Amino acid sequence: MGEIQLLYNYLVVGALLFGIGLVGFLTRRNMIVMFLAAEMMLQGVSLSLVAWGRFHDDWGGQVLVILILTVAACEAGLALALILLLFQRSGKLDIAFWQTIREDNQPKFIDQELPDETRDKPHWPQLTPAGIEPPGKGQELDHRIHV
Amino acid sequence: MMHYQWPYALAALLLACGLWMLLPHPGRTRVKLGVGLTVAGLGLLTLLVHFGLLLRFQAGLGEQAPQLYVEWSPGLARGEAWVFDGIFLALAGITVGSAIAAVTLRSPVYCAIWFALTLLGTGGLLLYEGAQFLGVATVVVYAGAILVTFLFVLMLAQPQGDSYYDRLSWEALLSAVAGAVMVGTLTMTMASALDAPGKAIGEKATSPQVAKERRERILGTEHVARLGGQLFSTHLISVEVAGTLLLVALVGAVAMLAGENPAVEGVDPGRNGKTFGAAGRMSQGGVRG
């Protein structure tokens, strides 16, 4: 692969990562997934910077990516602290809960259809009971905290 | 021959449709169709970009201008370069595929784990480019520190079961169209710039003299030592400012959380007696007994 082709390929991969991160940031409502998408945008930019640095034989691209790494670490710490604070006040990670801080002329976003939280019935294997009954109530075996 | 642009638009359109179908919607999502459309769009983009299906210079200059090709190793024949191309395609495929998964899945923990795979792919791509320190630093700092902090926060703030806001997305169609327009425009611009490389890129950047210098400087041996030398000589002030920024962020994070956390203050949780989250559940569960 020649240098121009390498540059072109890396720029397109960087653009794809940036675009996917952009779509994720605009679309998702979970604050943590929004932040993951923002970090993905930074990854796309890092790839483009390193590609240009290699193409022009310049160290500046890689130095900028090191600084991006530093800033992303700071941003992650502060953003996660903020998310924890917001969760303590509202009880959920939904960004639509805080939509009152928008400008005044924006229409209020109301969820049109809220899907009910159905969960698939868990298929636990039916083993022959043997030995001592395990501690705990019976319905605890059917309910499992879903990760 | 005119440079055709509609295949790039078609690839971007396929990507947009696939991504829109994969994003969380209420009700049943068409995963197979979404995955199929996304794979088709990415495959078309790979054909156009990597294999240079429409670029004139790829076909025109392949044999007549061998100095455009940088040899990976002195003895490697051009015919064996497909191994290295395959490695790049595998890394890029892993990165982009796990990026799409990280953005479209419903459970935020799964999103975080797929993002870890994206970071590994990005680290591999950086290693492939010759940036050895950055490849390792991406994995160590991003996947090892930032992502673990994410998972800690998810552990503390995760609601029980699937929450409704994880299964909704707002303005999915407009966002997918915006992303596809951006990616398509960038790709088309790059393709038309590379269509006449002599004018746009400049012959200086691809001359054998620059290739030789590149092998000695940015692709040379002792990569980390040279990068460190550049950091602490040319970019010294940036490094010091970055250190100060880290200190400020640390102080800020501690200051933000120390004043709010009721466990630190030692008073009753909440201002009106009600709290949410793990602390609230434990206290309410304790009250009810």
For residue A28, pLDDT over 60 is answered with: yes
Tokens encoding B227: 């990068």
| Partners of A94 in beta bridges | A30
Residue B83: left if φ>0, alpha if ψ -120 to 50, beta else—which one?
alpha
Question: Chain A contact for B111, CB < 8 A?
Answer: yes
Using CB atoms and an 8 Å cut-off, which of residues 245-274 of chain B contact chain A? 245-246, 248-250, 252-253, 256-257, 260
Neighbours of A129 (CB within 10 A): 8
The pLDDT score that the predictor gives to residue B3 is 59
- The SS3 assignment for A30 reads strand
Q: Which residue has the tokens 């941003």?
A: A75
Measured between beta carbons, the chain B residues lying within 8 angstroms of A142 are none
Distance from CA of B208 to the nearest CA of A (A): 11
| Partners of A73 in beta bridges | none
CB B150 within 8 A of CB A83: no
Residue A57: left if φ>0, alpha if ψ -120 to 50, beta else—which one?
left
Question: Chain A contact for B158, CB < 8 A?
Answer: yes
Measured between beta carbons, the chain A residues lying within 8 angstroms of B182 are 15, 18-19, 22
Measured between beta carbons, the chain B residues lying within 8 angstroms of A114 are 26, 164, 168
How is residue A94 annotated by DSSP? B
Residue A120 vs residue B63, higher pLDDT: A120
One-letter amino acid at B25 equals H
**Tell me: the pLDDT tens digits for B45-97?**
888 888 776 665 544 444 433 333 344 444 455 556 677 888 899 999 999 99
Interface pTM (ipTM) of the complex?
A: 0.81
The pLDDT score that the predictor gives to residue A141 is 58
Q: Are A5 and B107 in contact (CB < 8 Å)? A: no
CA atoms within 13 A on the CB side of B96: 27
Residue B120 vs residue A107, higher pLDDT: B120
The pLDDT score that the predictor gives to residue B265 is 45
The pLDDT score that the predictor gives to residue B72 is 46
Neighbours of B243 (CB within 10 A): 11
Q: Tell me the pLDDT band of B189, cut-offs 50, 70 and 90.
A: confident
Which range has the worst mean pLDDT, A13-17, A125-129, B193-197, B232-236? B193-197
* Three-state SS sequence of A38-93: HHHHHHHHHHHHHHHHHHCCCCHHHHHHHHHHHHHHHHHHHHHHHHHHHHHHHCCC
Dist CA A76 CA B238 (whole Å): 20
Q: How many CB pairs under 8 A join A and B?
A: 297
The pLDDT score that the predictor gives to residue B8 is 87
Q: Tell me the pLDDT band of B276, cut-offs 50, 70 and 90.
A: very low
**Tell me: the pLDDT tens digits for B8-51?**
889 999 999 999 999 988 777 788 889 999 999 999 988 888 87
Measured between beta carbons, the chain B residues lying within 8 angstroms of A111 are 164, 168
B69, B160, B161 ranked by CB distance to A2: nearest: B69
Task: Output the CA–CA distances (angstroms, integers) from residue B92 to A13, A14, B86, B97, in the order listed.
Answer: 7, 10, 10, 8
Average pLDDT over residues B266-279: 44
Tokens encoding B158: 């995760």
Dist CA A69 CA B145 (whole Å): 11
Element of type H or E holding B82: helix B81-104
CB B127 within 8 A of CB A56: no
Distance from CA of A130 to the nearest CA of B (A): 31
Q: Tell me the pLDDT band of A20, cut-offs 50, 70 and 90.
A: very high
Q: Among B54, B146, B204, B244, which would you mutate to test the A interface (most chain A Cβ atoms within 10 Å of its Cβ)?
A: B146
Residue B263 vs residue A65, higher pLDDT: A65
pTM greater than 0.90:
no
The pLDDT score that the predictor gives to residue B64 is 38
The pLDDT score that the predictor gives to residue B248 is 95
**Tell me: the pLDDT tens digits for A53-108?**
998 888 999 999 999 999 999 999 999 999 999 998 888 888 888 888 888 877 77
| Partners of A30 in beta bridges | A94
The pLDDT score that the predictor gives to residue B77 is 54
Q: Which residue has the tokens 């320190």?
A: B133
**Tell me: the pLDDT tens digits for B192-241?**
777 665 554 555 566 677 777 777 787 878 899 999 999 999 999 999 99
Measured between beta carbons, the chain B residues lying within 8 angstroms of A33 are 103, 108, 111, 166
Q: Are A17 and B118 in contact (CB < 8 Å)? A: yes
Tokens encoding B206: 């691809």
